[in-house]
């Protein structure tokens, strides 16, 4: 069982990128990262988002894949780390050959560390 | 690693059902879905639940499996998506040959979208 | 798919230990469990912790492994069950041959059940 545990944890952890890596490139035009806000809620409900994020609801992602750039690394996030939209988006991106990660801690963790956000209203 | 990531995400996502599928059948006598509230807390702590849910605490589920109906699809939920009771209940149901899913977003997500709940007090 | 689902859930559930098992040994000098608070935040942000926990931020864990005791079982926790620091710490411990689990429900669940905590300020 220990081998299966380690294998699961290693694969699971490999899906995530730490906020500290992402925030370092925020606002840099040459950033290798593109942050995708994949929440399905309308802007009025979302109220704010990670600074510079592009809003592509998870339910629409498959339809707009040809607008994305395969030379970038996509970082997706949902409201919290306990939801599944981030993983749904990540699965779509990985299956289509994109470099992609889920943001560890999601939006909740980002805000909890007072990292830059922007208003949507 | 990418193959292992995709396989993990596909299996993980297959455990979940979206609230939008479930809410469509709410209050319909012929619904294929039975919603199970598997929280272990007493009713006074739970305060409310998803409308029409049946409360079977995860710790008791194995003992009452013979009261369940194999022609139905069971949808289990806990407080939030970050807890493990939903997965514990789901494992019991799947191992015993039931069709079952965990509700994406759990009770927290259901309430956040203002879907129908009912008081327990 | 059902076999893969059951295998994933069984491995996933095997990573966790229930608070009821841990709380039974709290304050007992001969406890087989050592609780590790692996949050990376400073004490002022953390404010409180599980009673008797040892604070070892996940980012420092690999450097202090030789201070740990292989005859104990380590129980790690982060803020909530939706974050990844618990799994990061668990992976390090399991890979180095320690007995270790993540606390089901994390600190949030522990507090929600009014189990013993202690102030850090």
Is C41 within a domain? yes
Residue found under tokens 């993980």: B12
Contact B11 C8 (CB under 8 A): yes
Q: How high is the mean pLDDT in each 10-residue block of chain A (121 residues)? A: 95 95 90 96 89 96 97 95 91 98 93 93 82
Residue found under tokens 């390090």: C92
Is B80 within a domain? yes
* B90 → closest Cβ in C9, C104, C108: C9
Cβ of C57 under 8 Å from any chain B Cβ? no
Identify whether the C-beta of residue C80 lies closer than 8 Å to the C-beta of residue A81.
yes
Cβ of C88 under 8 Å from any chain A Cβ? yes
Residue found under tokens 């990061």: C88
SS3 call for C15 = coil
Supply the CATH number for residue A91's domain: 3.40.250.10
Instruction: With both helix axes pointing from N to C terminus, report the angle between B2-13 and A85-95 in degrees, rounded to the nearest 10.
Output: 140
Among the listed residues A33, A45, A40, A16, the one whose alpha carbon sits nearest the alpha carbon of residue A109: A16
Count of domains observed in chain A: 1
Cβ of A88 under 8 Å from any chain B Cβ? yes
Is B53 within a domain? yes
Read off the tokens for B115: 């879907």
Identify whether the C-beta of residue C17 lies closer than 8 Å to the C-beta of residue C103.
yes
Chain-centroid distance of CA C113 in Å reads 16
Q: Is residue C22 over pLDDT 90?
A: yes
Is C9 within a domain? no
Instruction: Specify the range with the lowest mean pLDDT, choosing from C2-16, C35-49, C92-106.
Output: C35-49
Q: How would residue B102 be classed by pLDDT, with cut points 50, 70 and 90?
A: very high
**Per-residue model confidence as pLDDT tens digits over B11-68:** 999 999 999 999 999 988 899 999 999 999 888 889 999 999 999 999 999 999 999 9
Can you give the residue range of the structural domain that contains B33?
A: 16-119
Mean of all residue pLDDT scores within chain B: 94
Cβ of B63 under 8 Å from any chain C Cβ? no
Query: CB neighbours of C12 closer than 8 A, spacing ≥ 6?
Result: A8, B84, B87
Please state the ipTM of this predicted complex.
0.93
Instruction: With both helix axes pointing from N to C terminus, report the angle between B2-13 and C2-13 in degrees, rounded to the nearest 10.
Output: 100
Is A1 within a domain? no
Chain-centroid distance of CA A90 in Å reads 8
Is C10 within a domain? no
A11: which chain C residues are within 8 Å (Cβ-Cβ)? none
* B5 → closest Cβ in A15, A80, A83: A15
Q: How would residue C74 be classed by pLDDT, with cut points 50, 70 and 90?
A: very high
Is C75 within a domain? yes
Among the listed residues C117, C113, C108, C121, the one whose alpha carbon sits nearest the alpha carbon of residue C50: C117
In angstroms, what CA-CA distances link A43 with A63, A80, A81, A103?
Answer: 20, 17, 20, 20
6-25 in A: which are within 8 Å (CB) of B?
7-8, 11-12, 14-15
Query: CB neighbours of B43 closer than 8 A, spacing ≥ 6?
Result: B55, B120, B121
Is A31 within a domain? yes
Please tell me the predicted confidence (pLDDT) of residue B82.
79
């Amino acid at each position: 069982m220990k081998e299966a545990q380690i294998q699961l944890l290693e694969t699971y952890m490999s899906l995530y990128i730490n906020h500290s890596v992402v925030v370092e490139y925020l606002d840099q035009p040459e950033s290798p990262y593109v942050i995708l806000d994949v929440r399905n809620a309308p802007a009025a409900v979302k109220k704010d988002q990670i600074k510079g994020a592009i809003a592509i609801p998870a339910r629409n992602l498959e339809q707009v894949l040809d607008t994305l750039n395969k030379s970038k690394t996509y970082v997706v996030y949902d409201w919290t780390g306990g939801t599944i939209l981030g993983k749904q988006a990540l699965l779509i991106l990985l299956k289509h050959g994109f470099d992609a990660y889920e943001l560890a801690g999601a939006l909740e963790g980002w805000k909890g560390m007072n990292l830059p956000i922007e208003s949507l209203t």
